[in-house]
Chain A
Amino acid sequence: MLQMNTLTITTTINRRNYTLCINPNQTLLDILREELGLSGTKRGCEIGECGACTVLMNGRAVNACLVLAPQIEGQEILTVEGLAVGEQLHSLQEAFLEHEAVHCGFCTPGMLLSAKELLDENPNPPETDIRFAISGNLCRCTGYVQIVEAIQAASANKPERKP
């Protein structure tokens, strides 16, 4: 069996600081799901094509399956579990509920975070920008309409509640 050298890193995930002993071969997705039990971030393809594993790293949407664990040293990660603050849902979460943008829900966490990156940059994006922002997130259920509508609704709901 291969013996890995482990590394110790510090990182912030959902506003909490962690010191983690990691195997440098692990991905951020492995760390979240297997080490920290943050299973909201999904495994869809593990090659950066489906967007189910999208999280924010310093505010930028990244595919957690393509980020190697050492790369998160000193970074701030936000996953779906960190979107709500206490009981207070993020406006995107509320809009997804209201617009029935969740069918099987497997793409939902990634969609929410891609949308958050967009709205953080431009609180009132035109529909073309919304489509562009989630073009790396595949959904096999909804046909995307209700998702786009939800993001539009959340953008109209600005100002967004800041964490």
Chain B
Amino acid sequence: MPPHKSHNKPVKQAVPHESASKHVTGEAVYVDDILVNRQLLVGRVVYSPHAHARIKSFDLSAARCVPGVHAVLSYKDIPGHNQMGPVVKDEVCLAENEVVCVGQAMFLIAAETEDQAREAERLIRIEYEHLPTILTIDEAIAQNSFLGPSRTMQRGNPDQELQKAQHRIKGELRTGAQEHWYLESQVCLCILGEGREMNVFSSTQHPSETQALIAEVLGIPKNEVVVEIRRMGGAFGGKETQANHTACWTALLCNATRRPVKIRLFRDDDMKMTGKRHRFLSRYEVGFDDEGNLLAATFELNSDGGCAADLSFAILERAMLHADNAYYIPNVSVLARVCKTNLPSNTAFRGFGGPQGMALIEHVIDRVARFLHQDPLEIRHKNFYGIDSRNVTHYGETVEHNRLHIIYEQLVASSEYDERRKAIAAFNNSSEFLKKGMALTPVKFGISFTTTFLNQAGALVNIYKDGTILVNHGGTEMGQGLHTKMQQVAAAEFGVNLDKVKVNATNTSKVPNTSATAASAGADLNGMAVKNAVDTLKSRIAESLAQYWSEQNPDTSTAQHSVHFENDSIVDIEHPARRISFADAMPLMNLRQVSLSATGFYKTPDIGWDKTKGWGKPFHYYAFGMACTEVLVDTLTGHHTILRTDILHDVGDSLNPQIDLGQVEGGYIQGNGWVTTEEIKWDDKGNLLTHSPDTYKIPSVQDIPKDFRVHLLQNVPNPDTIRRSKAVAEPPFMLALSTWLAIKDAVSAVANHAFEPSFSLPATNEVIVLATEDLKKRMRENPPGEAPTQ
């Protein structure tokens, strides 16, 4: 075991990623790797250089004359609807009379080479009239620029209870945007079939929606469009709706030129054109008693939706549903709204509003603790949802199977929290500029799409006469190991070896009308759908084999229910001599005219949620986890190092511990990027300044903890899910709030924790240095001992 890290990995269950062997030899095929004939044209998107302008005129004639250029398209050339909004129809495919953000697509070019396409772009003449812009949340609020109406959720009487509370504090928190930085940028390849058939290879998390929108822009029925995706080179929510854009543009060019077309966005273009994690401006007021019990809170969440709705309402809703995180607050109100600005439409990103909601309450708790001169962990623990009482959320869902308390106990012990807390205090007393900080924060994350009908999935399972199995399901593989898990589920349910099962590329002609692979629900939903299809096949096979064995043995017949599937065989457990290998049974089934192909379907039971009342049970269950992070901060430069991280995370009975550990580690590190170095900046014209990896810094291996100890909580089967497992993808992202608060703790040590540091998220070097200087100034003006914590 490597010294820097220990795992509780039951090696027996370790199953390598379904197509990992192709990845290590370079054979794994991504969209950009698909071989196409010499007819392939390069697609290029011409986008707006202005954040808000009226298009007075444009002239494409010179561009269309460039040799090698096969098409230059404007909105006038769209045969169907000029629309690609996924939920609200407020997003045109190509700009008409107005552009509403830098990066908005205006024209499309298909050419034989990239140089020709660029040359054509240079020859496009456009006249603009500049219009006023709104580029920040503050400007949007001041000018009443919102997407849709505001929403509220309330329990109890927070206003009245705030007045009665012993202590009250109020403030605001800003959390930043985040770029997905999937290693594989947006890409799509379209190839025409016969007639109107359009074959689409798109790096998309939502093939069914990609199919629907392409049909809509082309003005053809959906049964003429097939969307396929074998794998993505990362997605993280960034390809849930916004892969549709690249796909629609590619399909338009393919349709216009009648030749194969590929669009692969260059990294800078991808960063400029696509939406990000929503930045938030959140305000709060919280009331509590001397012991730190939270009594009442009012929250106001303002997200930056950008220029169109995209998934902003659902993201905002999830933020509202996670403004409590792990804490019971008897009286709560949440007011939330989406600001409309002249920036690219912000979109899904791992956590989907959860991180923004949780950052707020964790910040509040941290502040309450500092106010009361207590360890924040005490305040957290005190306010955790209870097991039998104090266990109903502010939207009416009971927190069942609450793992907070066992995780807390185990992690406080294994991380040696108390000893290290003392050592950190001693270190800080003896060190002027280098300061240490630590924080242990929980995650409680609701699993299910909050738009209830989306909680459905389909599968198609075929068995061939040689006994091999092909699984199709509606989920997409983006590196989260979904196909591996589906392969495991099918193999386990059929009782056959893994190598008998292959998982197909996701294809809309195999499994139609699917939901996006999102909300961490991919394995939960598709796993159940695969199992449902396998169950259908098993009962057909068992019925036929029972008949067959009964015909062979007229005196001792075989009952269907005693036909079992195990060890690559099918056996009558009452008469174990009646055993046939799985592979040998299939030709027999074919002879006996048994259909060896079945569809499966699943919809999540027991959930229901009244969006207008903000009350009900939106989630099938909750996933829990906690992280304890210790950092060393150089308060002169703002540089931080993560010294040690201990994580304990709940995935139920893991379907695949190695994959789940990888998801926990990867989620935490990606979250660390959001809370530390990943700063997104726009200039005052709405241009993205951080549009390249040399100005936008995602974590490298040098940024991970020096000592990283990650464990999965053991012996906690999750009732009523596929093989008692739990979803994993999103929840670990928010474990990174421990890093953010550990840094704040270190900064706070500059003033011996007497003052609340002015802090925002991400805690960049700049934020750290400014907060430090501010604390020093306040100390000089108001020496400790006399200072209030405000």
Residues of A within 8 A of B (CB): 1-2, 33, 37-47, 49-50, 52, 79-81, 83-84, 89, 92-93, 96-100, 102-109, 112, 127, 131-132, 134-149, 152
Q: List 29 A-B contacts (CB under 8 A).
A: A1-B66, A1-B119, A44-B183, A44-B185, A45-B267, A47-B693, A49-B692, A49-B694, A80-B24, A83-B25, A89-B21, A93-B24, A97-B20, A98-B16, A100-B16, A102-B16, A102-B20, A104-B233, A104-B234, A104-B479, A105-B231, A135-B700, A136-B700, A140-B180, A142-B662, A143-B662, A143-B665, A144-B701, A146-B665
Known interface pairs A93-B24, A100-B17, A105-B17; 4 further A-B residue pairs with C-beta atoms within 8 A, sorted by A's residue number: A1-B115, A50-B693, A80-B26, A98-B16
Interface centre among B4, B33, B184, B670 (most CB of A within 10 A): B184
When the two chains form their complex, are residues A100 and B658 in contact, meaning their CB atoms are under 8 A apart?
A: yes
When the two chains form their complex, are residues A39 and B33 in contact, meaning their CB atoms are under 8 A apart?
A: yes
Residues of A within 8 A of B68 (CB): 1
Least CB distance, B14 to chain A, in whole angstroms: 7
Least CB distance, B518 to chain A, in whole angstroms: 16
Instruction: Give Cα A136 to B698, complex, Å.
Output: 12
Q: Is B79 an interface residue (CB 8 A)?
A: no
When the two chains form their complex, are residues A140 and B234 in contact, meaning their CB atoms are under 8 A apart?
A: yes
Least CB distance, A136 to chain B, in whole angstroms: 8
Instruction: Give Cα A143 to B19, complex, Å.
Output: 20
Interface centre among A47, A103, A134 (most CB of B within 10 A): A103
Q: Is B453 an interface residue (CB 8 A)?
A: no
Least CB distance, A113 to chain B, in whole angstroms: 10
When the two chains form their complex, are residues A105 and B479 in contact, meaning their CB atoms are under 8 A apart?
A: yes
When the two chains form their complex, are residues B665 and A142 in contact, meaning their CB atoms are under 8 A apart?
A: yes
Ordered nearest first, which 7 A-B pairs have the shortest CB separation?
A40-B26, A104-B479, A106-B233, A105-B23, A143-B669, A143-B665, A80-B26
Residues of A within 8 A of B2 (CB): 127, 148-149, 152
Asked, given contacts A1-B116, A49-B692, whether A104 binds B183 with beta carbons under 8 Å apart, the answer is: yes
Instruction: Give Cα A104 to B235, complex, Å.
Output: 9
User: Within residues 620 to 662 of chain B, which ones have a CB less than 8 A from any CB in chain A?
Assistant: 658-659, 661-662
* Partner of B668 from A42, A104, A143 at Cβ < 8 Å: A143
When the two chains form their complex, are residues B116 and A103 in contact, meaning their CB atoms are under 8 A apart?
A: no
When the two chains form their complex, are residues B116 and A97 in contact, meaning their CB atoms are under 8 A apart?
A: no
Residues of B within 8 A of A97 (CB): 16-17, 20-21, 24
Instruction: Give Cα A146 to B27, complex, Å.
Output: 21
The residue in chain A whose Cβ has the minimal distance to the Cβ of B484 is A100
Q: Is B615 an interface residue (CB 8 A)?
A: no
Residues of B within 8 A of A93 (CB): 24-25
When the two chains form their complex, are residues B662 and A146 in contact, meaning their CB atoms are under 8 A apart?
A: yes
Least CB distance, B226 to chain A, in whole angstroms: 23
When the two chains form their complex, are residues A42 and B183 in contact, meaning their CB atoms are under 8 A apart?
A: yes
Instruction: Give Cα A131 to B642, complex, Å.
Output: 15
The residue in chain B whose Cβ has the minimal distance to the Cβ of A39 is B33
Instruction: Give Cα A112 to B28, complex, Å.
Output: 15
When the two chains form their complex, are residues B183 and A139 in contact, meaning their CB atoms are under 8 A apart?
A: yes
* Partner of B181 from A42, A137, A140, A143 at Cβ < 8 Å: A140
Q: Is B196 an interface residue (CB 8 A)?
A: no
The residue in chain A whose Cβ has the minimal distance to the Cβ of B666 is A143
Q: Is B35 an interface residue (CB 8 A)?
A: yes
Interface string of B664-700 (1 = CB under 8 A from A): 0111111000000000000000000000111000111
When the two chains form their complex, are residues B20 and A131 in contact, meaning their CB atoms are under 8 A apart?
A: no
When the two chains form their complex, are residues A131 and B25 in contact, meaning their CB atoms are under 8 A apart?
A: no
Q: Is B45 an interface residue (CB 8 A)?
A: no
Residues of A within 8 A of B35 (CB): 37
The residue in chain B whose Cβ has the minimal distance to the Cβ of A98 is B16
Interface string of B74-114 (1 = CB under 8 A from A): 00000000000000000000000000000000000000010
Interface range on chain B (Cβ under 8 Å from partner): 35 or more
Asked, given contacts A1-B67, A47-B692, A49-B693, whether A100 binds B23 with beta carbons under 8 Å apart, the answer is: no
Q: Is B549 an interface residue (CB 8 A)?
A: no
When the two chains form their complex, are residues A52 and B66 in contact, meaning their CB atoms are under 8 A apart?
A: no
Interface string of B496-509 (1 = CB under 8 A from A): 00000000000000
Least CB distance, B642 to chain A, in whole angstroms: 12
When the two chains form their complex, are residues B26 and A81 in contact, meaning their CB atoms are under 8 A apart?
A: yes
Q: Is B224 an interface residue (CB 8 A)?
A: no
Residues of B within 8 A of A96 (CB): 20, 23-24
Interface centre among B28, B183, B693, B702 (most CB of A within 10 A): B183
When the two chains form their complex, are residues B666 and A108 in contact, meaning their CB atoms are under 8 A apart?
A: no
Instruction: Give Cα A81 to B699, complex, Å.
Output: 28
Q: Is B710 an interface residue (CB 8 A)?
A: yes
When the two chains form their complex, are residues B27 and A40 in contact, meaning their CB atoms are under 8 A apart?
A: yes
When the two chains form their complex, are residues B668 and A103 in contact, meaning their CB atoms are under 8 A apart?
A: no
Instruction: Give Cα A86 to B608, complex, Å.
Output: 56
Residues of B within 8 A of A142 (CB): 662, 665-666, 669
User: Within residues 545 to 585 of chain B, which ones have a CB less than 8 A from any CB in chain A?
Assistant: none
When the two chains form their complex, are residues B481 and A145 in contact, meaning their CB atoms are under 8 A apart?
A: no
Residues of B within 8 A of A138 (CB): 181, 183, 693, 698, 700
Instruction: Give Cα A102 to B27, complex, Å.
Output: 13
Instruction: Give Cα A108 to B67, complex, Å.
Output: 39
Residues of A within 8 A of B264 (CB): 43
Residues of B within 8 A of A137 (CB): 701
When the two chains form their complex, are residues A140 and B5 in contact, meaning their CB atoms are under 8 A apart?
A: no
Interface centre among A131, A137, A141, A146 (most CB of B within 10 A): A141
Residues of B within 8 A of A127 (CB): 2-4
Least CB distance, B46 to chain A, in whole angstroms: 18
When the two chains form their complex, are residues B26 and A39 in contact, meaning their CB atoms are under 8 A apart?
A: yes
Residues of A within 8 A of B5 (CB): 145, 149
Residues of A within 8 A of B478 (CB): 104
Asked, given contacts A39-B33, A42-B233, whether A52 binds B20 with beta carbons under 8 Å apart, the answer is: no
Instruction: Give Cα A138 to B704, complex, Å.
Output: 12
Least CB distance, A82 to chain B, in whole angstroms: 9
When the two chains form their complex, are residues B669 and A46 in contact, meaning their CB atoms are under 8 A apart?
A: no
Asked, given contacts A44-B183, A103-B17, A106-B184, whether A144 binds B692 with beta carbons under 8 Å apart, the answer is: no
User: Within residues 109 to 133 of chain B, which ones have a CB less than 8 A from any CB in chain A?
Assistant: 113, 115-116, 119
Instruction: Give Cα A5 to B4, complex, Å.
Output: 54
When the two chains form their complex, are residues A144 and B693 in contact, meaning their CB atoms are under 8 A apart?
A: no
Least CB distance, A17 to chain B, in whole angstroms: 20
Least CB distance, A63 to chain B, in whole angstroms: 12
When the two chains form their complex, are residues A140 and B26 in contact, meaning their CB atoms are under 8 A apart?
A: no
Interface centre among A106, A136, A149 (most CB of B within 10 A): A106
Residues of B within 8 A of A143 (CB): 662, 665-670, 699, 704
Residues of A within 8 A of B658 (CB): 99-100, 146
When the two chains form their complex, are residues B26 and A38 in contact, meaning their CB atoms are under 8 A apart?
A: yes
Least CB distance, A116 to chain B, in whole angstroms: 12
Instruction: Give Cα A123 to B14, complex, Å.
Output: 27
Residues of A within 8 A of B441 (CB): none
Asked, given contacts A100-B14, A140-B234, whether A105 binds B28 with beta carbons under 8 Å apart, the answer is: yes
The residue in chain B whose Cβ has the minimal distance to the Cβ of A150 is B24
When the two chains form their complex, are residues A141 and B115 in contact, meaning their CB atoms are under 8 A apart?
A: no
Least CB distance, A107 to chain B, in whole angstroms: 6
Residues of B within 8 A of A49 (CB): 692-694
Instruction: Give Cα A108 to B694, complex, Å.
Output: 21
Residues of A within 8 A of B266 (CB): 46
When the two chains form their complex, are residues B665 and A47 in contact, meaning their CB atoms are under 8 A apart?
A: no
Q: Is B232 an interface residue (CB 8 A)?
A: yes
Residues of B within 8 A of A108 (CB): 23-24
